[in-house]
Chain A
Amino acid sequence: MPGQPQSSMLRLILARLVQMAVTLTVVSVLVWLAMGLMPGDPLDLAMLADPGMSAADMARQRALHGLDQPLHQRYLAWASAVLHGEFGFSRLYAVPAAQVLWPALGSTLVLLGWALGLSAAVGIGAGVLGAVRRGAAPLVDGAAILAQSIPGFWLGILLIIVFAVGLGWLPAGGAAEAPGLLEAARFLVLPVATLAIVNAAAYLRHSMAAMQHEMAQPYIRTARMKGLPPRAIIWSHAFRNAAIPVVTVAALDAGALVSGALVTETIFARPGMGKLIYDSIMGNDYNLALLALLLAGLVTMLATLAADVAQRLIDPRLAG
């Protein structure tokens, strides 16, 4: 039936959206509880700022802001506000939370996009090379193990030492101070390189294994005997089949990529979701931390869903 694949794809997407909503709700409850257990509530900080505050003032303030309510009632009030699009206030930045969330999301998506594209291109390219050229295999293999084992934050520091401190070519971190694409790119190079190198390892290992498997199949020998040029054999025969497990990696790897962005942004002091989550937790800005965390989770799950949809599109066996 011609309508079949579409409806199964629709069902996948709907099921995933339900699962996402459940996951985000569970996470928001758990994180809400965890944050109740972190040191310092909002008024402790207000008191630090104003030593003249008396215990009676504190109690009155707590009642005013609803901080004397039980945890579950505060959660329900917060959740209903968020579902109505009211994201509340960021204490750390002293502006409405939405004002810091969206620019941070944009900055992170730029970092993620470049890092994902670069790591997939380099990882798949090197993986195919390692599978096709026998001599390159040990070298590619070694690079994969190195990239997989290197701690991302250390790689970032090493790149800062070499390119910012030693050679002085690129800034050690921060955000672009002047407008212009070139200026933005200068601040993007090292973070993207850090994230891409760490993230390329998974693509490299899986594309190499998948290509090695495909290149040993009889249909490749047939293609060779037909006299097809090697380029056509590699890319339009073997790689089309090898791409399926590689896309699976992309789906499984979305979480690691976002985690990597958090560390990378923290090292390079790059304003983004990762740095926002870290700074807001460190600065006791619970509302912003929770919102940023949920937004990061949502982005990750949407990326996973996109990879799953892509996998169904390129693998006819899954489409039915």
Chain B
Amino acid sequence: MRLWLGLGLLGALALGAAAAPLVQGWLGHDPFTPDLFARFGESSAAHPLGTDELGRDVLLRLLFGARVSLTVGVAVALGATGLGTLIGLAAAWRGGWLDAVLMRLADGLLALPALPLLVVLAAVDTGRFGLPRGEALADIARIALILVVFGWVGVARLARAAALTQLSLDYVAAARVSGASEVRVLWRHVLPNIAGPIGVAAALAVAGAILAESTLSFLGLGIQPPAPSWGNMLSNAQELVFSAPLGAVWPGLFILAAVAGCTLLADGVRRGRGP
């Protein structure tokens, strides 16, 4: 039930993101060029959700924003899950000082308030490394990278705990006795057995990444306008609460749907696997 509700929400959003250019074709206008004669438009046949403070179509911007927000979410989840699994497996397998160093590092990251640090990192001027500034793709990569730096911790702790359990089981000893290399033991035997909890952690990582990206973009440090993201659509909306309060509603609903979708999915998978 939860699983299907979560999949449904995420599927609808992904479909909307994929179909954004199609919808643009049907409606027949450009969500990136301002049209100052059509500011704060009411919902109509041409603009199903109305227009924003620059006369751009809100629905189209939400759909194109979905591409940005979902890309960041999935990219961060992949990166954080990959890195976290690697670190967790390494800590569990090697033990000793490596385990101690990695887990203290994880503790340190968990103990700190993440958002102020994200704000600092997001304010770093990437132009100083010779990277392009202000391009949508570069922004996405920058935000995703920063979120991976903080996102691996949860996955690593889960992967380590699960791998420690597996490594102490007889089948691992049996595999070793029958001559399997350590890499093979970890890759072919341990990893498939800890994939369940890691999958749940990955779904929650998508949710966390979408929330974090939207917060950073809302604060003006994430995806830079004119590229739409759900977060930066809201940073304009706050200035306009008195003149156009409804403009603040839609982007938030989309974020809520995406994050709730991931949470429901993770819950559903976890319950399906039994407590």
Contacts and interface: CB of A to CB of B under 8 A. Distances in A.
Contacts of A22: 108
Interface in B211-269: 211, 214-215, 218-220, 234, 237-238, 241-242, 245, 248-249, 251-252, 255-256, 259-260, 263-264, 267
A38 B127 CA distance: 9
B171 to A, nearest CB: 30
Interface residues on A, range: 35 or more
B119 A262 contact: yes
A255 B110 contact: yes
A164 B112 CA distance: 33
B113 A296 contact: yes
A266 B221 CA distance: 13
A255 B113 contact: yes
B234 to A, nearest CB: 6
B114 interface: yes
B121 to A, nearest CB: 6
B151 to A, nearest CB: 14
A22 B125 CA distance: 27
A263 B214 CA distance: 12
A161 B119 contact: no
B112 A300 contact: yes
B143 interface: no
Contacts of A219: none
Report which residue of A154, A158, A160, A252 has the largest number of chain B beta carbons within 10 angstroms of its beta carbon: A154
A182 interface: no
Given A38-B125, A157-B234, A151 B255 contact: yes
A150 B260 CA distance: 8
Nearest to A273: B116
A259 interface: yes
B128 interface: yes
Given A255-B113, A297-B112, A153 B120 contact: no
Interface string A222-263: 000000000000000000000000000000101110111011
Contact of B107 (A19, A153, A157, A165): A19
B195 to A, nearest CB: 23
A272 interface: no
Contact of B248 (A34, A158, A252): A158
A258 B207 contact: no
B115 A259 contact: yes
B260 A263 contact: no
A150 B256 contact: yes
Interface of A: 19-20, 22-23, 26-27, 31, 34-35, 37-39, 145-146, 148-154, 157-158, 160-161, 164-166, 172, 252, 254-256, 258-260, 262-263, 266-267, 274, 277-278, 281-282, 289, 292-293, 296-297, 300-301, 304
Q: Which 4 A-B pairs have the closest CB atoms?
A: A154-B252, A259-B115, A258-B113, A149-B260
